[in-house]
């Protein structure tokens, strides 16, 4: 076979392998991913058994009972009293976790509430690792 044709064949083979692998990657990503949802969307359409990545703010008044942490997640810009998702979570609680902080947690619907996947809780750092303006805080 002429070297040129041989090289072209090799190149086509390599490209086909790359396309196949990329296809597998794309397919598995969609099937392995979990949907990121807001509290309102989750409360409206949660299916039992399916996992969701819930994003929102922690309502004040969370508590630890035994090894489980019970907290409620509300919309980022929600007022007090707006609907919130009750989450029961076991596993690592990140150090910055506290009321009014934004969290991301993978949850599944169970009975009336939601159960957090072990060790899936992430607390977003307060804006840019920046604390509040001391003057505003003091006033």
The site for another protein (CB under 8 A) is made up of: 21-22, 25-26, 28-30, 32-36, 53, 55, 64, 66-67, 90-96, 102, 104, 106, 119-120, 122-135, 137-138
DSSP state of 48: B
105's CB contacts (< 8 A; 6+ apart) are 53, 54, 73, 87, 89, 116, 117, 120, 121, 122
Nearest to 51 by CA among 74, 68, 31, 25: 31
Nearest to another protein of 65, 112 (CB atom)? 65
Nearest to another protein of 111, 134 (CB atom)? 134
CB of residue 113 to another protein, shortest distance in Å: 21
Nearest to another protein of 30, 49 (CB atom)? 30
């Amino acid at each position: 076979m002429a070297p040129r044709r041989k090289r072209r064949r090799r190149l086509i083979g390599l490209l086909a392998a790359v396309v196949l692998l990329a296809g597998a990657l794309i397919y598995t990503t969609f099937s392995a991913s979990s949907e990121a949802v807001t509290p309102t969307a989750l409360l409206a359409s949660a299916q039992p058994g399916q996992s969701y990545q819930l994003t929102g703010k922690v309502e004040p008044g969370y508590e630890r009972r035994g090894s489980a942490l019970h907290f409620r997640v509300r919309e980022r810009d929600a007022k007090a009293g707006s609907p919130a998702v009750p989450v029961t979570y076991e596993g690592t609680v990140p150090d910055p976790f506290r009321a009014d902080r934004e969290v991301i947690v993978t949850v599944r619907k169970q009975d009336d509430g939601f159960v957090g996947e072990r060790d899936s809780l992430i607390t977003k750092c307060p804006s840019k690792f920046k604390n509040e303006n001391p003057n505003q805080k003091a006033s």
